[in-house]
Amino acid sequence: MKICLAQTKPFTGSIVKNIEQHLELIQLAIEQGVELIIFPELSLTGYEPTLANTLAISKDDARLTVFQEASSEKNITIGVGAPIKTSQGITISMILFQPNQSVQVYSKGFLHVDEMPYFVSGDNSLMLQINSQKIALAICYEISIPEHAEKAFQNGSEIYIASVAKFKSGINKAKTELANMARRYSMSVLMANCIGMADGAECAGKTAVWNKEGERIGELDNINQGLLIFDTANQTAEQYLF
């Protein structure tokens, strides 16, 4: 299976422009035979907690139907990030489109203290299964919670994918945590990050993949948008920068 991580530079607050950007990258991934593509945290709006109340959408927002159409037509699973309105408040979520299936949502269950004024914890129990491979999902701060990775391991996950918005100040710590996680649980670990400004700081990029030994086998830079494609069969990664 080929898994693609998209490293994007979001248009702050513009869902329409970000959808257009996402579709372009999805098409490029499809041309490379990808079966799953994951975007960074809050990729459809940019990581902007103070704007979340204004930007929050429903998982059934009509503007998102283009992702379901692409998923079903091209047999690709797509995970995009967005703030989602719920009866309890706004969640930091990943909306998942799978071929000919209902839309599903993975929401950040563990929030950083800085996020608590703007968001509520959501349901992070969803696990993907593609071609018999179990795939655990995570959103940013969750990678620093030991029980999150432990639960993924106990549930039989072979692959762990983190959708993040990591700034330059925190990227090295995140990379160390993910490499250690891969080594400890013998899982392939992937991280999709963004570039550009978000919430007053600069995102660090460095989207990456670690093999089951904790060795980094692919990494994008910190200035370009791009795709990092991980081939689970031969344990290699290819990069495409734009």
Q: Per residue in 83-125, pLDDT tens? A: 999 999 999 999 999 999 999 999 999 999 999 999 999 999 9
Q: What is the domain-level CATH number for residue 73?
A: 3.60.110.10
Enumerate residue ranges in the chain where pLDDT < 70.
Answer: none
pLDDT at residue number 109: 98
pLDDT at residue number 79: 99
pLDDT at residue number 46: 98
What is the reported pTM? 0.98
DSSP 40: P
Q: Which amino acid is at 109?
A: G
Q: How many domains are there within the chain?
A: 1
Q: Quick one: CA torsion of 197, 201, 204, 210, rounded to 10 degrees?
A: -120
By C-alpha distance, which of 212, 210, 200, 148 is closest to 169?
200
pLDDT at residue number 185: 98
pLDDT at residue number 5: 99
Residue ranges of the alpha helices (H) in the chain?
15-31, 52-55, 65-74, 146-154, 171-185
By C-alpha distance, which of 209, 210, 120, 199 is closest to 167?
199
The residue segments making up the domain with residue 229 are 2-241
Q: For residues 114 and 49, is the Cβ–Cβ distance under 8 A?
A: yes
